[in-house]
Every structure is written in structure tokens, then in C-alpha cells.
Structure 1
Amino acid sequence: MAFLPQLGRSIYVLLGGILFTHLGSYMLLPFFAIILSTEKGLSLGSTGLVLGGGSIAFLVGSLLGGFLSDQFGQRFTMVGGLLIRGIGLLGFIWGGTFATLLLTNLIAGIGGGLYAPGAKAGIATLASAGLKTTAFSYRGIAANIGVTLGPLLGTYLHTRSSTVLFGGAALVYFVLALLHLVLLKRDCVGEDCPKVDRHGIRQIVTDRPFLSFSFVTIFVWALFTQYSLSLPLRAGQIESARNIGLIFTASAMLVILLQGSVTRFFTKYLHPLSAMAMGMVLIGTGLGSVAFSTSFWHLVASAVVITFGQMFVMPTSDTIVADLAKPEQIGSYFGVAAFVFGAGEAIGNIAGGQLMQRAVAIDYLALPWLLYGALGLLLSAVYVLLRRWQALAKPLTLENEARVEHSSRPLRSKQKT
């Protein structure tokens, strides 16, 4: 199709994988906490612990997946991760106690962690320098197509039963594993494989700019996790949470329609760290405004503000990791980045569940949201300070200038064809 950039077949296969993994996840995500806390009978605190346990398993799987991706190939780790995650999701059909639900989510989390680094590393490796941001923007669009369709499909399946919902999600991952096996190029074998630097992890843990960015970003993901954990629970406090999937769908539609324009703006006018700061102002403002919510439509308005922040943060964070990574260790860098995401998600799920429970206990439901708003503004200030650190900011400036120059060049050549 002429209107799509020439990213190559393999990248489009990876983008398809991103779309359907998000479809499978967002079939469940709007209803996950509700099913655990109502149908399965867990307390709000135990619900947060189960979700947090899955996130911790994601940490282990992502580090392992990044290393395996560099050593044995991306297809190997992605297919294995998809199969393991599908098996884990099937376990929710029969799990009924805290222990079995936690174990089930640990398995699903490991599978998701194995898959994530290979997918992002593949996009970063296969996209040329000038098209890297474009490729990650398309990744965001593909993800949000899945986010858009997932809650709609999940709502339909959830009205049947949670068994149908979890079984449908598992089927998505099994089919996707088969398609990756068939459509992606075969992993390297023997002498065809690049030599892996077995001291690569040691080099990563001494990369101060990357580690500093990663440490701060842990708290970004912890905060953003409240969108999927605490927001549905808040909807249940105000009125029925049955329509919560519509919020996720509306937010995803915004990303699909506007992500390209937002990306062009911050690529051209903002340093990547400044784009992260802008995104955190919006996410913090959106979450903070939930403290004053009195209706479902107020939650929709808050979600719109959070979504605009997401459009600044998501593709920028991936691009920063790709720019800081050493080419021969791209999988391991994205493995650490996935570990960072999982760490933030674990902290967010555990702390979010406990905060929501505490807010109910003291009858001050606005407490978590006021804290989230303050944290968003604090993180924005930290990114502004990091912008002044040349060891981190300068490499990103050079890469961003190359992208701006590249993005203005092909427009004329495309018009000729």
C-alpha cells in the first residue's frame, strides 16, 4: 500500500504481533481486577498482589528474553513467550484461590516478558536510523488498534462468562505463536549466528545514562499502571464499571488518529527528554483530576488527558532506549527496558491496590489520585533536570537531529512516485 512507509515485511510482521498481543491483553485488562476482586473473591489488596506477582514474573522473563534474543534469535524467544503466556491465561479458568491465581499470573507474566524484548529489538534493528521513530510510532498505532478492538471483544466475551473470556485470550496467543513461526525468517543457526558478548550485561550495568533514564522511568510505568488498575476500580466506586471498556476504546482511538501528528510535533520541536517531561505533566494532570470525579463521563475526560500524555511518553521512551543501546546488545537493552516496565507495573499494582484499600478504610477516596497527580509533576521536573545532563542529553540530541533531517527528505521523493 503506497501510503505506508517502506519499513520492510519483517517489521510489518512484528507490528502485526504487537497488534494482536495488545488485543489479547486488552480483552482482559479492563475486567481483570474486577474479576479477581468480585468473581474470584479476592480483597483489593490481594488483587493488587496477584497482578503485581505477574509483573514481577514479567521482570524475570524480560531479562531472560533479552539475553536469549541476542544469543538464539528473536523468533525463538517470541514464539516461546507467546506459547507460555497462552498456557498461563488458560489457568485463570480453573484457578479459584489466591495461591493458584498468583501462580497462574506468574506463568503468564514470564511468557509476556520473554516476548517483549524480541519484538522491540526487531523493530529497532530493522528500521533505519531516520525511520526509527516512525517505526515506533506505527508500533504505537498497531498497539492501540489492538487496544481499541480488545475491550470490545472482551466485553462481548465477558457477557458470556469469564471462562470464555480467558479461553479467547489464550487462543489469540496460540494462533499468534503459529503465525510468528511461519511468517518470520528462521533464526540463525550455528556459524550464521552473530557472536554474543557474554560480558554484555556487565557493560549495561555500567552505562550510567541508560541506567539513570531507566530508574526514573520505573516510576513512570508505576504511575501509568493506575490507568488500568485503579481507574476501573474508581469507576466501580462511582457507578457500575460495566462500561469501563469504552474508556479504553476511546483512548485507543485517539492514539490511532493523532499519534502520527503528535510524534511529528515532538520530534521536530522537542528534545526527547523534554517530550517525556511534557507527557508526565499530562499524565499527572489526568490522574490527579480523577480525585474530583463524580460521574463516568468525568472519568472519560480524565482518560483523554492521560492519553495525550501517553502519546508523548510511549514512542519516546522506546526510541531513547534504541538510541542509547549498543547495536550488538540491542536485545539485552530492550530486555532491561522491559524489566523496567515490569518493575514499574509491579510497584504500581501493589501500591495502587494498597492505596485504594487504604482510601476506602479512611473514607477519603481522593487520596490516591492526589498523590498520583503530584508524582506526575515531580517526574516531569526530573526529566527537565536530566535534559541538562549532557552525557544523556547529547547522544539523544544528535539522533533526534538525524531523524528530523531524514523525515523532511523523503517527502519530496515520495511525491515523485
Structure 2
Amino acid sequence: MVSFLPTLGRAIWVLLGGILFTHLGSYMLLPFFAIILSSEKGLSLGNTGLVLGAGSIAFLIGSLLGGILSDRLGRKLTMVGGLLIRAVGLFGFIWGYSFLTLLATNLVAGIGGGIYAPGAKAGIAALAKEGTKTTAFSYRGIAANIGVTLGPLLGTYLLTKSSTVLFAGAATVYLILAVAHLLLLERECIGKDCPQVERGGIRQILSDRPFLLFSIVTIFVWALFTQFTLSLPLRAEQLATSRSIGLIWTTTSLLVILFQGSVTRFFSKHLHPLSTMAVGMALIGTGLGSVALSSSFWHLLGSAVLFTLGEMFVMPTSDSIVSDLAKPERIGSYFGVSAFVFGAGEALGNIAGGQLMQTAVSLNYLNLPWLLFAGLGLLLSGIYFLLSRWQPLAKPLTSELERQAERSAAPIRRKQKT
């Protein structure tokens, strides 16, 4: 089994371990968070929503801050700081009971998570050897899904003890990760050895037209992604199969864990990254659209599998594209903006998806959201196909097959020159 693993280097494996355990720590809490806030902490449903929303907004702010800090202070220190801030926030839930205290606590936890995220992706991009970047990001997806799968199981066990044990357990995960990153990762530079990054980096990134256009389109990709966790459970409830929705999550996570590496090896060799995005969005759109035809749990499971196959194309490729478009000295800031784009798409998807489902019920036409989701997925697929013909964006991005051809041609050109 080990022989099939790519040689990525110790630092990347440490970062992948960080991805796994940050998702483990998050998903230990996520299924139970709202319940604890409302039933145990005594918050109203409205205030519970405000606390949860504050954490999401804080994550967005933290991701922009984390990108800038990782370029200025180095990825290692920024990630360690983010993990420690996240741990402090989670410990705060043990003693917090008033609305304002819980709101402040989740703001701290959200900012810490946001500060950590860009440095982890930037580290994978910067440290991956030539030809292994997309593979490394595919393993990031595998690591995340292992955490997503195991987190709720561990959280369920700890919650049988008490919510205090649950919050302490999640916070301890982040503390241990902070120590592991501090001890196992080398700092990129020290003091005057660090590259001097000019101020106004975010403004310069937003003037990068290819990256900006890719980011704008990708907002709608993440908005569609959100429907898997928002609208699909609502559809399951309409079909009276909501009790089995957890099985869909487990099945799709296992699919990513088992097959992401193989899928990535195939498309990274044969498809341009933007063409890969086009194929992935066609699969995601078709998967969501097929929900309109569902009449049982097994139909929903089939739609989810098709959606997940598209996810395997899109997730590692989008990170690899950001890495290829980024200026090396600002790679953290690029991933900070990318994390912000993800959060903005998630917010858009939650708002629009909820409104669409409500409208569909009011009109007594339950298939409406899924037909619109399918149309948007296919539209985005077409947009990515057109972007693959736009040289300012497509030229900096090459498939692994093209990289291999370029490396093979280099010695021949050198011989011809001599």
C-alpha cells in the first residue's frame, strides 16, 4: 500500500496531517454545535444563528489576514498562531453561557481557523515537487474526508460524557497540531532573510485579471457545492428518507478516500486544468439535476455519487490553478483570497438554496431548484471550456502531460543549440 503513495516530502505530509485533524476537530463539533447552543447554553434559535454566522464571517476575515501574514511572517508561524487562537476559542465555549460571550468566543475560533487555512494550502503548493502539485492537493481532499468521516463518530462518543469534554477534546486537537507544526515544520526564513513583500498586496491581487475572473466564476461553483449539505437533506426530508442522509455522507466520503488519487492521476495527465473543471462541473450539474428524478433513498445516493465524482475533478484542480496563477512571493495572499471566495460562495449558496427550496414549496413545484442547479452547473462547465481558450488564463496552466512533454523536449532543444 505504501508503495503506491507519492513521494511528497515530510513537510507536505505534516501539512496533510494538519488538514486531516483540523477537519476532525471541526466535524467533532459541527453536527452538535447548534443543538448545544440552543438546548444547553440556552440561546434562542435566532441568537444561535447569529453565533454560527459570526463564526463564518470571522473565518472569511481570518483567511484574508492569514494569507497576508503567511507572506510576511512565514507560513509556519502563521499556521501555529491560527491553531492556537482556534484552540483558545474552543476552550472558551466551556465557560461561556451568555449570548455576547458565545458570540465573542466563536469570533475568536473563526478567526483562528481562517488564519490557518491559507498557509496550509500555500505550503502544499510551494513545497510540492514538479509534477506532484495536483496530486498533493488530491491527497488534501482525501485527508479532509477522513477527518469529516471520523469527526462525528468521535464527537458522538465525547458528547456522551458531556459538552465540556467535547469542546475540550476539539480544542486539544488544535493544541497538539500547533505543537506538531512548531516542531516538525522548518521555518521558511528568519528576519532579514525573509523576502520583503510590498504593502497593498490584496489590491494588486485584485488587479490580476485572470485570477480575478477565475475567482468570480468559482464563487458560483462553491455556491453549487453548498447544495449538497443544504438542499439535499431538505430533499431527503421531502422523500421521507432524512434518517438515512448520514449514510450518503459516509458513502461519498469513502469514495473520495478510496478513489481521489486514481481519478487525479488520470485527469492530471490527460486534461488541461480548465477542461478538468469543465468536466467536473458537468458532472456536478448532472448529479444535482438528477435529484429532480429521485423518488427514493437509492436515487438520492446515485445522485450524490455522481456529484462526488465531479467533486474529485474540481476540488484539487481549483487549488492547483490558484497555485499556478499566484505570484510566488504572494502565494499565501492568493490562497487567502481563494478561501474568502470559497466562504462567499458558501454564503451565497446557503441563502439562494434556502430561498429556492421555499419558493419551490410555495409553487408546489419541488423540481424547480434542481433544474436550476443543473442549468447553472452546465453553464459553468461551458464557461470553463471557453476560459480554456482564453490565453491569459489558460497559458499559465498546463496539464501534467504537457509538463512531461516540456521536460522531455528541454534536453533536445539544448542539444540543438549546441
1:380 maps to which residue?
381
Whether 2:342 is the aligned partner of 1:345: answer no
Question: Counterpart of 1:86?
Answer: 87
**2:297 & 2:92 partners in 1: Cα distance?**
32
Equivalence map 1:148-159=2 (5 Å) = 148-157=149-158
Letter in 2 for 1:182: L
Q: Which runs of 5+ in 2 are unaligned?
A: 409-418
The residue aligned with 1:264 is 265
Determine which structure has more spread, i.e. the larger CA radius of gyration: 2
Q: Deviations over 1:225-269 (max 9, x none)?
A: 222233334444544745533322211211121112211221122
Give the direction of change, closer, same or farther, for the CA distance of 1:144–1:51 in structure 2 (3 Å limit). same
Give the TM-score normalised by the residue count of structure 2.
0.85
**In 2, Cα distance between the equivalents of 1:165 and 1:231?**
28
| Cα shift at 1:33 | 6.4
Mean CA deviation greater in 296-305 or 22-31 = 22-31
User: 1:161–1:295: structure 2 CA closer, same or farther, 3 Å change rule?
Assistant: farther
After superposition, the Cα gap between the structure-2 partners of 1:398 and 1:138, relative to the gap in structure 1 and judged at 3 Å, is closer
Q: How does 1:3-402 map to 2 (within 5 A)?
A: 3-30=4-31, 51-90=52-91, 103-157=104-158, 164-186=165-187, 188-239=189-240, 241=242, 243-360=244-361, 364-397=365-398, 401-402=402-403
Quote the Cα distance in structure 1 between the aligned partners of 2:243 and 2:175.
Answer: 28
C-alpha contact (below 8 Å) 1:129/1:403 kept by paired residues: no
Q: Could you tell me whether the CA contact under 8 Å between 2:272 and 2:399 is conserved in 1? A: no
Give the C-alpha shift of residue 90 in structure 1: 4.6
Q: Please report how far the alpha carbon of residue 75 of structure 1 lies from its aligned counterpart in structure 2 after TM superposition.
A: 1.5
Q: CA, structure 1 residues 52+265, in 2 after alignment: closer, same or farther (shift >3 Å)?
A: farther
1:397 shift after superposition: 3.0
Match of 1:414 in 2: none
Alpha carbons of 1:18 and 1:281: their partners in 2 closer, same or farther (altered >3 Å)?
A: same
Tell me, in whole angstroms, the C-alpha distance in 1 between the residues paired with 2:407 and 2:136.
Answer: 13
Residues 11 and 264 of structure 1: is their aligned pair in 2 closer, same or farther, counting only changes over 3 Å? same
Deviates further, 123-132 or 113-122? 123-132
Q: Secondary structure in 2 aligned to 1:395?
A: coil
**What's 2:412 paired with?**
none
Q: Partner amino acid for 2:209?
A: R
The answer to whether the 8 A contact 1:155-1:245 is kept is: no
Evaluate the alpha carbon distance shift between residue 234 and residue 267 of structure 1 in structure 2; reply closer, same or farther with a 3 A threshold.
same
Contact 1:131 1:403 in 2 (8 A): no
Aligned to 1:415: none
- Normalised to the residue count of structure 1, the TM-score between the two structures is 0.85
Separation (CA, whole Å) in 1 of partners of 2:95 and 2:230: 23
Distance 1:350 1:97, change over 3 A: farther
Supply the distance in 2 between the matched residues of 1:363 and 1:175 (Cα, whole angstroms). Answer: 51
Identity of aligned residues (%): 75
| Counterpart code for 1:335 | G
Equivalenced residue count is 406
CA distance in 2, matches of 1:191, 1:91: 37
2:196 is paired with a residue whose SS is coil
What amino acid is aligned across from residue 194 of structure 1 in structure 2? P
* Higher mean C-alpha deviation, range 248-257 or range 348-357: 348-357
Equivalent residues of 1:29, 1:228 under 8 A apart: no
Conserved in 1, the CA contact under 8 Å of 2:215 and 2:341? yes
Q: Tell me: CA distance 1:329–1:248, structure 2 relative to 1, closer, same or farther (3 Å).
A: same
- Output one character per residue of 1:120-150: Cα deviation in whole Å (capped at 9) or x when no partner: 1111111122221222122222222222322
RMSD: 3.1
Alignment-mate amino acid for residue 9 of structure 1: R
> 1: CA distance between counterparts of 2:233 and 2:114?
24
Q: Secondary structure at the match of 2:227?
A: helix
Quick one: which amino acid aligns to residue 252 of structure 1? Answer: S
* Cα distance, 1:319 vs structure 2: 0.6
Contact 1:53 1:346 in 2 (8 A): no
| TM-fit CA distance, 1:200 | 3.1
Q: Residue 36 and residue 236 in structure 1: after superposition, are their counterparts in 2 closer, same or farther (change >3 A)? A: farther
Which letter maps to 1:322? S
2:411 maps to none
SS of residue in 1 equivalent to 2:198: coil
Question: Structure 1: 5+ residue runs without aligned partners?
Answer: 408-417
Instruction: Give distance in 2, aligned partners of 1:156 and 1:351.
Output: 35
Amino acid paired to 1:300: L
* Change in 2 beyond 3 A, CA 1:49/1:371: farther
Name the CA shift for 1:271/1:296 in 2 (closer, same or farther; >3 Å): same
One-letter code of the match for 1:140?
G
- Shift in alpha-carbon separation, 1:101–1:199, aligned structure 2, 3 A: closer
CA contact (8 A) 2:12 2:127 kept: yes
Question: CA distance change for structure 1 residues 186 and 384 in 2, over 3 Å: closer, same or farther?
Answer: closer
Q: Distance in 2 between matches of 1:294 and 1:102?
A: 41
Question: Residue 187 of structure 1: CA displacement?
Answer: 5.7
Conservation of the 8 A alpha-carbon contact between 2:223 and 2:348:
yes
Task: Give the Cα separation in 2 of the matches to 1:145 and 1:114.
Answer: 22
Contact kept, 8 Å, 2:270 with 2:400, in 1: the verdict is no
In structure 2, relative to structure 1, the CA distance for the partners of 1:225 and 1:398 (3 Å cut) is closer
Q: Please give the alpha-carbon distance, in whole angstroms, between the structure 1 residues aligned to 2:157 and 2:289.
A: 31
C-alpha distance 274-185 of structure 1, shift in aligned 2 (>3 A): same
